Amino acid sequence: MLLRTGTALGIAALLLASLAAHAADATTTFLQTHYYLLSLGRVSTDIESIRRSAQSSGFSVLTYDGGTVRAFRADESVAIAESVLADERLLVVDDGRFLLRDGCERFAFSVRPSETGYELVIDPRQDLPISDTLGSVLVSLQSMGVVGNEASLGVRPYAKDDPKGPAPPAGARLDSTLFGLRVALDWFEHAAISRLTLVGLRVEVVAEIVASASLPAGFAAYAIEHGDRLVKLVLPIEQLLALAQSTEIAYVRPPYRPSVP
H-only helix segments in the chain: 8-22, 47-56, 130-143, 176-182, 187-194, 240-244
Every domain of the chain and the residues it spans: 2-159, 176-253
User: In the chain, what percentage of residues exceed pLDDT 90?
Assistant: 66
Q: Note if the pTM is more than 0.95.
A: no
The pLDDT tens digits for 120-150 are 999 999 999 998 998 899 889 988 888 644 4
**What residues are paired with 111 via a beta bridge?**
100, 120
pLDDT at 27: 60
Host H or E run for residue 57 = none
For residue 206, the model assigns a pLDDT of 98
Specify the pLDDT at position 10. 52
Reported as a pLDDT band with limits 50, 70 and 90, residue 67 is: confident
- Banded pLDDT at 80 (limits 50, 70, 90): very high
Mean pLDDT (the chain) is 87
pLDDT average, residue stretch 161-176: 90
Position 261 pLDDT exceeds 60? no
Residue 16: band (very low, low, confident or very high) from pLDDT cuts 50, 70, 90: low
Q: Rounded to whole angstroms, how far apart are CA atoms 129 and 17?
A: 13
The answer, yes or no, to whether residue 110 has pLDDT greater than 50, is yes
In this prediction, residue 171 carries a pLDDT of 87
CA distance 109 to 140: 11
Q: Which band of pLDDT confidence, cut at 50, 70 and 90, is reported for residue 25? A: very low
What does the pLDDT read at residue 165? 83
Provide CB contacts within 8 A for 163, sequence distance 6+.
none
